[in-house]
Structure 1
Amino acid sequence: MNFGTYKFRNYHTIIIVFKWKHFFNTMFLRKLFLSDKDKMFFLSLSEKRKREFLGIRYALKYIGIKMNIFYDEKRKPFLYPEGKHISLSHSFEKIAIAISSYHIGIDIEKLRKDKKIVKIKKKFIRDDESLFIHTNYEEDYLHIIWGIKESLYKLEGGIFYSFLDHYKVSPFCLQKNSCVSCWIIKNSYSKRFSAFYRKIEKYYLVYIIDK
């Protein structure tokens, strides 16, 4: 495996971003000391889920955390018995993993040459959000806003699926590292959050902590 790792902490949270080649081998599995039950579960997963499965275990081993990993009915991982929350995201060669004492949502997206994010912007950019997007840096803004809404979606547990109706991002100015106000909009009330983002090489990392 080829890893290039970034690690930082924020608000009782550790976030790791690392790079690897898209292949698996039995030697790496043996190094992670997977049980027979874990190996059977691993083989049943999709390729994307396999990367996430191995990524979580590598990250825990890397930072020296010894906790058991369990999966809920939606196959979403959580850590036991410490009660830690975990969120993860994968984009091309990078995986981002957050482990926190609080509920957390994380997303990582690569700035792509095919400008796919521009082609789908009508699916997630509200009219009031389009007003503060600088045309010279449209792709950067779109990736950050998408990452914020994806993180809110994960934070809420995937209940509210409309990125137009249920999530809103307040105006912000593009910086390398920054904090942005954002909202989950429900039928009866709305809740405000602070989203943090940073640029790592050609990727944007976004995370939201529900403190």
Structure 2
Amino acid sequence: MPFYQRIEVDDNTALFVWKITESYNDLFREVSLKDTSLARLEGMKSESHQKGFLAVRMLLQYNGYSDFDLYYDEFGKPHLNDGVNISISHSFGFSVIILSNKNIGIDLELRRDLVKKIAYKFAEEKFVYEYENNSSEFISMLTVIWGIKEAVFKVRNEIGISFKDHIFVRPFQMNEKKTTALLDFNALKSEFLVYFTEIENYTLVWLWETES
């Protein structure tokens, strides 16, 4: 089985990566799904999305869980029945989960030129202006910022949060592999400790809210 990597974040937090090399049918035969998950799977139009969904279940099984231990709240946030915090992401060739005693978020993104075209939707204009023509790592840095804002939203998915207007990323360098982020939304101000790395041509970000 193509279990790819385990990253030990701290004593109570670990991240698991699955490289999707199997066919849809091979993955489907290896997992058990509750009826709601099966209906969700069958409603997906993209086979890539279906395989990502199934690979997440493979990671659950790798950790002694199953699809029957996983449920989603009214906001679409995943939870495990035993109270362990979980966050999930998948993108084309990889699926990832993170398990922790902290309220964590994770995001996985394929690095593509496309991110430059949508940067105006999520990145601060100052960052784009400063780095667009001066950094060979512009796409990598934009992808980290996109991943951070996705992961923050997974932790604090209140209605009305804007990636560009409410989530701010502290300046960083790619070789640092960490930074912080701030969510400033209505009366809520939350700071997040952020880590990131690159796996092949993907960017992986994970974070959690720091104590006030």
TMscore range, shorter length: 0.7 to 0.9
| 3-state SS in 1 of match to 2:106 | strand
Residue identity matched to 2:191 = R
- Aligned-pair identity (%): 30
Structure 2 CA distance, aligned partners of 1:193 and 1:159? 19
Name the residue aligned to 1:117.
115
Alignment of 1:1-211 (within 5 A): 3=2, 5-11=4-10, 12-21=12-21, 23-25=23-25, 28-35=27-34, 38-40=37-39, 42-45=41-44, 47=46, 50-65=50-65, 68-80=69-81, 82-112=82-112, 115-130=113-128, 133=131, 134-175=134-175, 178-210=177-209
TM-score, scaled relative to structure 1: 0.83
* Two-structure CA RMSD over aligned residues (Å): 2.6
Cα distance, 1:160 vs structure 2? 4.0
Q: Is the 8 A contact 2:52 2:94 kept in 1?
A: no
Change in 2 beyond 3 A, CA 1:35/1:144: closer
Counterpart of 1:157 in 2: which secondary structure? Answer: coil
Query: How big is the shift at 1:75?
Result: 4.6
- SS of match in other structure, 1:182: strand
Structure 2 unaligned blocks of 5 or more: none
For structure 1, list consecutive stretches of 5 or more residues without a partner in the other structure.
Answer: none
Change in 2 beyond 3 A, CA 1:130/1:32: same
Q: Residues of 2 paired with 1:196 and 1:153: CA distance?
A: 16
Which letter does structure 2 place at the counterpart of 1:159? I
In structure 2, the CA distance between the partners of 1:28 and 1:149, relative to structure 1 (3 Å rule), is: closer
Q: Higher helix share goes to which structure?
A: 2
SS of the residue 2:56 aligns to: helix
| Cα displacement string for residues 128-163 of structure 1 (whole angstroms, at most 9, x for unaligned residues) | 434663522211110111111111111112534411
Alpha-carbon contact 2:111-2:201 (below 8 Å) kept = yes
* 1:28/1:62 CA distance change after superposition, 3 Å: same
- How many residue pairs match? The answer is 205
1:208 CA displacement: 0.7
